[in-house]
Amino acid sequence: MSVPSAPGLLEVGRRYRLHPATPLIHAAPVLPITGLVLFLSPALSFVQGLWLTIATAVVMAVGLTMIVGGLAYWSWTRFEFWLDEVGDLRVDSGILTRNLKKLQLSRLQSVQVVQPFIARIFGFATVTIEVAGIGDSRAALAYVKRDRAYAIRDQVIAISSGGTFVSYGATSSATDPTDAPSEHTLCKVPPGRLLGSLVLRSSTMALLILTVALIVFSYLRGGWQELFLVPITGGLPILIVVGEFIALFSFLVARSPNGVRVTYGMLQTQTQNVPPGRVHAIEFVQSFLWRKPGWVRVKMTVAGSASQQGDSNFGAVLLPVAPWPEAVALVRQLMPGIDESLGNLRGVGDSVRWRAPLQKGYLGVGLGESYFTARRGWITRRIVVVPHARVQSVRVGQGPWSRSLGLANVWVDVVPGPIEAVAPYRSQSEAQELAARELGLSVAARRIDRSTRWQSGQRAPDSDGDSDSEV
Amino acid sequence: MNDQTPTASSPAPAEASVPFSVADANWERVSPRLTTARRIVVALCVVPVIAAAVVVWLGGWIQGYSGGWCALVVGTAVAVYSWLHWMFGRRTRSWGYLERSDELFVVRGFLFRRLSVVPYGRMQMVDVKAGPVDRALGINTVQLHTAAATSDAGIPGLPPEVATSLRDRLAALGEQRQVGL
């Protein structure tokens, strides 16, 4: 039985196991936690004396750890993965209920390498692979050696994007894969700027102002009843800021042979690969106080990632904060042709004054050669960019208030994600014309689009009855 | 109105504009039985409320209490029902769909008007479904699914044979023009 410890490719047909240290990593955290809980809880109050209590706690914790370790070992012996002859990944797992999975890599949605805190200390990582499909269409290989994890990821991406079984080898020798020479760093977020952006965010500011107002109010009133709210209004923003700071710490975006690679995290390092063809929408978000330093956050909608929001809330963040030119330069890597002028957006008519006076001057829409671009927002400003080739459908909508002013909104629908692409408050005739133009552009664009198989050089399935569709 | 033209001229869109109201084009309409179905569903919720209020009021009246609030409940229920009764009629008449060469157009709503346009190549699945009331009245809903959850193009109130043939036509077109994500 092979032990996948050396970096290298998976051989077709050969069955692999997870690293033999896997049961230990699963069981290790149980020992100190249960020991501490048993020692502190009243469960052992029947035992007399401190030393006896400690000894009992240790014995029970060791016992529990061995049980967990035994189960983990058992499930380790029942876990196998391999590449089959047609280039799909097979994963067999389960102790009592066997679960035999076949992940069709040509329908790959995402591959992620995650290093949870404990695994990271010992140089292990988890590879999470998700393919398009209904139900349980993902597999997590936990744990393998970090180098092995990066090799598997590269291989899986290469197979899925129509390339050959080549390792990009960027990660084989370097201790930190992001420093490997073949990866070209595109953006780095300095800790100071990250912290500044989180503090200056509208939600943080609103809560801090509320806190100050509460203190002032209760001081003026002479009563202190309101102060019980202060830990909540003051503590919550601190918790959010610190939590997000730790999660997004040392954010680094690099170009890799597999698209754009995002790495971040202080305690748990996340690595996410963003294949260019899978990005269905980009959004630049600017909080009110970010206007002065000119910062924006870049979010993205990646096909298939909506279902994995559970294990990473920041999977939609392409860049937590950067000056506008830097953010645009990064987005240009994924959506060639985007520039800072956004191709002259068209503003809105005068009657919008009666519907949205504060954002009237900011609203805009543009239908460029390759992208739908829309700008909106009053306190928080947003710019959405959607490639015409990724538009799933188009909607026009109008409520009573807008109708009385002859206005309508135009939406372009994209796959589920954090981004809503809408051009609000166009004149009705313009909205109808925009929708028609967008439909024409999207039909034309996806005929020539081949970005989902960007490594193979072959034509994408076109609309003439080619059955090689991906979803 | 700012008349700046966008950067690129569009490569020959099929139409210069999309129809937005039922007056704009020769829409296929839905069955008036849809109104009846919706009204029945609301009536099934409202009638028990009225009945309960009347029973409580009668009970109170026998024992000599005044039950003014019961009249209020009945009045509110009747008012809500009347408004919905009228609105469902208007709403049914606002539905329309149009099968163009490349896309399906669906228009609906009279207070909040919506137009959804789904290119055939983007359709992933087409369902026909009907609830118990709809089945009793002989109407079905054709529901379209794309990779976007927001596409939101379903057509209710179609007679079963119309619904099935529409589903088959759409499914065939969808398969023929499937372009992936």
**Structure ipTM:** 0.83
pTM: 0.75
Contact B119 A427 (CB under 8 A): no
Q: List Cα–Cα distances, B158 to A103, A165, B109, B136, in angstroms.
A: 39, 52, 17, 13
Higher pLDDT among residues A86 and A165, named by residue: A86
User: Given pLDDT bands bounded at 50, 70 and 90, which one contains residue A134?
Assistant: low
Model confidence pLDDT, tens digit, residues A297-347? 999 988 766 544 444 457 689 999 999 999 999 999 888 888 888 878 999
Instruction: Answer whether A288's CB lies under 8 Å from A380's CB.
Output: yes
Show residues of chain A in contact with B8, CB under 8 Å. 367-369
The reply to whether B114 touches chain A by the CB within 8 Å rule is yes
Higher pLDDT among residues A8 and A195, named by residue: A195
Q: Which residues contact A443 (CB under 8 A, 6 or more apart)?
A: A463, B102, B119, B121
- Percent share of chain B, pLDDT over 70: 90
Nearest to A416 among B117, B118, B149 (CB): B149
Nearest to A437 among B10, B102, B118 (CB): B10
Model confidence pLDDT, tens digit, residues A32-63? 888 888 877 777 777 777 788 888 888 888 99
**Range A114-125 average pLDDT:** 87
pLDDT at residue A7 greater than cutoff 80: no
**Of the candidate ranges A92-106, A188-202, A369-383, the one whose mean pLDDT is the lowest:** A92-106
Nearest to B8 among A280, A368, A460 (CB): A368
The reply to whether A353 touches chain B by the CB within 8 Å rule is no
Amino acid at A79: F
Structure tokens at A155: 């291989």
Residue A164: which of A315, A12, A1 has the closest Cα? A12
Instruction: Answer whether A172's CB lies under 8 Å from A151's CB.
Output: yes
